[in-house]
Amino acid sequence: MTSVLIFIVGLAFSVQAFIGFIFLVSCIWEKERRATLFSGLQFMGMLAVLVVFFFLSSIGFFETALGLAVLIAGLLVAGSLAFLLTKRTAPNHQALQGAKGLIVGDVKRYDEREIVFARRRSLRPGSEHYKIFYQKHPGLEEVDARKRAQGGSLGQYIGTIDRPHEGPNAAATLASWAVPIHLSKPDAYNPQPSPNLREEKINLSPEEATEKVKGYAQSVGADLVGITEVNPLWTYSHRGEIYHENWEDWGKEIKVNHKYAVVFAMEMSFEMVGPAPHSPTVIESMRNYARGAFIATQVAGFIANLGYSATANHLLHYDSPMVPLAVDAGLGELGRLGYLITKQFGPRIRLGAVTTDLPLIPDKPVDIGVEDFCKICKKCAVCCPSNSIPPAKDQTVVNGLLRWKLNAETCYEYWGKVGTDCNVCMRVCPWSHARTLPHRLIVMLITRNKFARRIFSVMDDIFYGKRPKPKPAPKWTRFDTI
């Protein structure tokens, strides 16, 4: 009996020390100096405990009454802690309803003309559309004039934070911009069937169509794919972003013509997000926006060739905000920082979608513990350089929705100052760590257990710091060695 207990405890200590070692290796790979120091101390402590245990075992301590009592007590404590950390706690039924679970009042569809990107990128001072908009929104004209004078994340102000050596990174960013701008033409985002195909629709069951569309999306570069029925509340009410001088569309009502949305996510590189808010992160953002435009256009073309209507949604042509669609498609949950947080990559993603009338099988929303974790963590709010993320524990009601509301105006204004899309919140989020084995284990625990969320939120502050510093940039994107 005693020998069995000794074997079990020895095995448990050995596994613990092994996990401590691979966490140390992970921290070294992540180039996290603070985490490497603390994980090294942790591993040495675990190793010391293991050595003491085997020493006591070798001298027969556990054969004594006291030793046996210590052994049993240790097993009981360890077993209780393991049970508390691995037991699945009560589900968040609000999250399992998807984005509609956030509805607590009357929700009005957002007008795309009013969002900061449309105002900054589309409205030209002196134009008729400019006059019409600011006559209705006089309070915004001075604010937007200041933003235009300051610059934005694209244009001559790219990478301001890294001057005078930002040139190559600005060039790389604009190279990716060319892809979505090319694919923002109507014949690209609303493709017609290829003339080489038969005119009739290809009949597929919803199950077959779902399998083929998801498989095709993944084959052309999507990392995550989900399907949802389109909730009209998440569609913009009127068109506000205009490209290729298509001004007759400005202010037009956006009609909900499609029942389904194929929503996909693309992982952003851990190494490229690490230097945020410096210019490597905007290279990575634009690279993935370019990927998103390519994937959405390809998937929309595939569906059009099946004989059905499809519309690509990407950086320069959105009919809907992407996060509510992604939540409903089961890709993740809305976090405090205003981004979708996924189990696989945290918020280190960019989103795209294709809406269609092709009958598909919707996925179900998920509960991965994001809301509960964000109530505890608050790291994105603490680290936000523009104080745009609310630090309050609980969400507030905004447009009939219960959520943490990002201040898009001050966020975008900071983008103009640094010449990137910042991404500090994405970088510091504990969900953003590289998915090495230790972090996979942690994610597995926090997605199912409320006690694990509290423990690992505190541990993240200890190991990585409450205000983690930017990581070194990949060599080819260095902005301080030219």
Q: Let me know how long the chain is.
A: 482
The pTM of the full predicted model, rounded to 2 decimals, is: 0.94
Q: What is the pLDDT of residue 369?
A: 97
Q: What angle do CA 470, 373, 86 make, to 5 degrees?
A: 115
Return the amino acid letter for 159. G
Q: Kindly tell me the burial class for residue 149, based on how many C-beta atoms sit within 10 Å of its own C-beta (0-12, 13-18, 19 or more).
A: exposed
In DSSP terms, 313 is beta-bridged to 353
Is the sign of the CA dihedral 324, 329, 333, 338 positive or negative? negative
Q: What is the pLDDT of residue 178?
A: 92
In DSSP terms, 224 is beta-bridged to 265
pLDDT in tens, the chain (482 residues): 788 888 888 899 999 999 999 999 999 999 999 999 999 999 999 999 999 999 999 999 988 989 889 889 988 988 899 899 999 999 999 999 999 999 999 999 999 999 998 998 888 888 999 999 999 998 888 888 877 776 654 556 788 899 999 999 999 999 999 999 999 999 999 999 988 876 778 999 999 999 999 999 999 999 999 999 999 999 999 999 999 998 999 999 999 999 999 999 999 999 999 999 999 999 999 999 999 999 999 999 999 999 999 999 999 999 999 999 999 999 999 999 999 999 999 999 999 999 999 999 999 999 999 999 999 999 999 999 999 999 999 999 999 999 999 999 999 989 988 999 999 999 999 999 999 999 999 999 999 999 999 999 999 999 999 999 999 999 999 987 54
Element holding 294 (H helix, E strand): helix 280-305
For the chain, domain boundaries: 2-86, 95-475
Q: What is the pLDDT of residue 481?
A: 59
CA 462 vs CA 42, 60, 143, 348, 449: distances in Å: 12, 38, 40, 22, 20
Tokens of 228: 């949802």
Say how far apart CA 358 and CA 341 lie, in whole Å: 28
